Amino acid sequence: MSQTRTFTRRRAAAAVLTAALLVPLAACGNNKDNTQKDTGGKSTGSSASAAPKADLTVLAAASLTDVFKAAGAAYEKKNPGTKITFSFAGSQELVSQVKQGAPADALVTADTKSMDGVKADTGVPTVIAKNRLVIATVEGNPNNVDELKDLGDTKLKVVLAAPEVPAGKYSKKILDAQKITVKPVSQEPNVRAVLSKVELGEADAGLVYKTDAASAPDKVDAVEIPDAQNAIAEYPAATLKTSKNAEAAAAFVAWLSTPEAQKILQDAGFQKP
């Protein structure tokens, strides 16, 4: 009988000791949960869903207008409480805004040279996509523009992006390489303005990015330019050092390289970075 009582006492003591050990462990678990709540659910992981909430302003190249609206909506859905406002313009205008101290959190340009111009104001940029030029013509291509050299026809009303605009620089590069002289009826402040001129019939043709022409399939025709005669546009993205939401801005810029964002970009016709 004494042996049975001794065994029972030992089991009771072990149970008490186990309960005592579990109490602080449970407290630790509660503290962890409380800590996550206090920090807004932040995590050291790279998941975009753990990005801090913020209202972000992103300066972006005009040629990203349609795709970034879709990307922004996807990001906001993935990160409730975050709102992204885009300001679209020619990259040269965006650079000017940054230099003038415009309040913003991130910058995405249509060429690396523009981004390099404000490297003192940004974090390390990452190329998130590439693009290429096509010839946009009035719907139906009534002037039979079939190749790059056709733009040299003086009877043709051609519109180009201004020389300081990335699309204008790329256009000049490929036209000069083929020794084609074009006298544009106008030079526009961004590539979307070039597209608009062709859409409205104010120009017979213009050089735009492939994605721009794809955004208006019922209004313009796109004439492909062979790779050997074309130029590749690169889109770098970077945070701005003046951002008041540095962590949230960095999370958005990083998300642009994720499979989810890349699918949105590539579905819109952009190339892999």
Following DSSP, what letter does each residue of 197-231 receive, concatenated? HHHTTS-SEEEEEHHHHHT-TTTEEEEE--GGG--
Name the nearest CA neighbour of 63 among 246, 269, 211, 223: 211
Name the nearest CA neighbour of 191 among 206, 172, 174: 206
pLDDT of residue 2: 44
For residue 217, give both structure tokens: 């399939």
pLDDT of residue 3: 43
pLDDT of residue 39: 35
Q: Is the domain defined by 48-130+234-267 classed in CATH 3.30.70.20?
A: no
pLDDT of residue 50: 66
Instruction: Count each helix (H run) and each strand (E run) in the chain, helices first.
Output: 9, 9
Give span(s): CATH 3.40.190.10, the chain: 48-130+234-267, 131-232
Residue 55, CB-side half-sphere exposure with 13 Å CA sphere: 2
H or E stretch covering 95: helix 91-99
Using only C-alpha atoms, the chain has a radius of gyration, in whole angstroms, of: 28
pLDDT tens, position by position, for the chain (273 residues)? Answer: 444 444 344 444 444 334 443 444 344 444 433 333 333 333 333 444 567 889 999 999 999 999 999 999 999 999 999 999 999 999 999 999 999 999 999 999 999 999 999 999 999 999 999 999 999 999 999 999 999 999 999 999 999 999 999 999 999 999 999 999 999 999 999 999 999 999 999 999 999 999 999 999 999 999 999 999 999 999 999 999 999 999 999 999 999 999 999 999 999 999 999
Give the whole-angstrom CA distance, residue 130 versus residue 88.
Answer: 18
Helices 191-199 + 166-177 axis angle, to 10: 80
For residue 138, give both structure tokens: 């009035």
pLDDT of residue 192: 95
The superfamily (CATH) of domain 131-232 is: Periplasmic binding protein-like II (3.40.190.10)
For residue 114, give both structure tokens: 């523009």
